[in-house]
Each structure stands twice: as structure tokens, then as C-alpha cells.
Amino acid sequence: MSLVVVGIAADTQTVHKLEEQLETAGLPLESIDVITPDDFEETPILVRADDAPLLGDPGTSVPGLSSASPVETSADEGLSERLADFDIPDSEADSYAEALRRGRSIVAYFAKPETLTKAQEIFREASVANVRVY
């Protein structure tokens, strides 16, 4: 049984620090996975005035003047799948997508029950934020 320790790294230095500390502790680095802002794309969703998605080409719609405007965005399907691989619930996916939009990375470590506590400690020591276990 794997447990996934997930957190948000402010920058690549934080990710490297985490990797070094995991390695020093004797935890295998092949158990780590990182999603960077470069892996993320955002797809606009056009929504009609009645909040229904607008399918197809909106044509010459003018934001603010016509019945459809890009008021929502949706995480790329690939990102949704990656977050699901980390066992992140759909209800929390938007928070992680927002972290990526702000230039942060999502770091996951697939731990075993006997390494879970140590992995969580190392995430916190490496200044990884919002550390959670899924």
C-alpha cells in the first residue's frame, strides 16, 4: 500500500533541497514526482449568461457585450490525471492548479507506511508548503 505525501514547492531550489534531504535519509528518489508550471496548460471555457458552457466557436462575441465571455478556466485534462495519480480529490484540484498558475510546483512522494512519517518531516524541513497525505 502506497501513501502519497503531497506539497507545494515555491521554486526549483526547494525541490532540489527536498530531493537531497530524501536521499540523505535513505529514501528512494524514484518515489518522487513533480509537476511544474511548465507542465500545466489552462483551457478557457466560454460560459453563456445562463452559466451553461458554450460549445463550439463563439464567433465574434465581445466580452461584456455579448452573451458569452471567458469567465472560467479549466485545468488541462493531463493535469487532472496527474493530480488523480497523486490521489488528490477533485474537490482540492483547483487549489493545486492555482499554485501552478502562481509559478509553484506540486511535489509528491509515494511512501510506504514505514517511511510515511519520515517523508512528511523531510517535506516540512525542506520548506515545502501545505504538506498533506492522500
Q: How far apart are the C-alpha atoms of 23 and 44, rounded to whole Å?
A: 40
Weakest mean pLDDT among 18-22, 40-44, 91-95, 118-122: 40-44
**Cell numbers at 35, concatenated:** 509537476
Q: How far apart are the C-alpha atoms of 40 and 8, rounded to whole Å?
A: 14
Residues of the chain with CATH 3.30.70: 3-41+76-133
Q: How far apart are the C-alpha atoms of 34 and 36, rounded to whole Å?
A: 6
DSSP bridge pairs for 46:
70
Nearest to 32 by CA among 125, 109, 132: 109
Q: Is residue 64 over pLDDT 90?
A: no
Q: Is residue 47 over pLDDT 60?
A: no
Is-above-0.85 flag for pTM? no
- The CATH number of 3-41+76-133 is 3.30.70
Q: Are 105 and 7 in contact (CB under 8 A)?
A: no
Q: How far apart are the C-alpha atoms of 84 and 134, rounded to whole Å?
A: 10
Determine the residue type at 10.
Answer: A
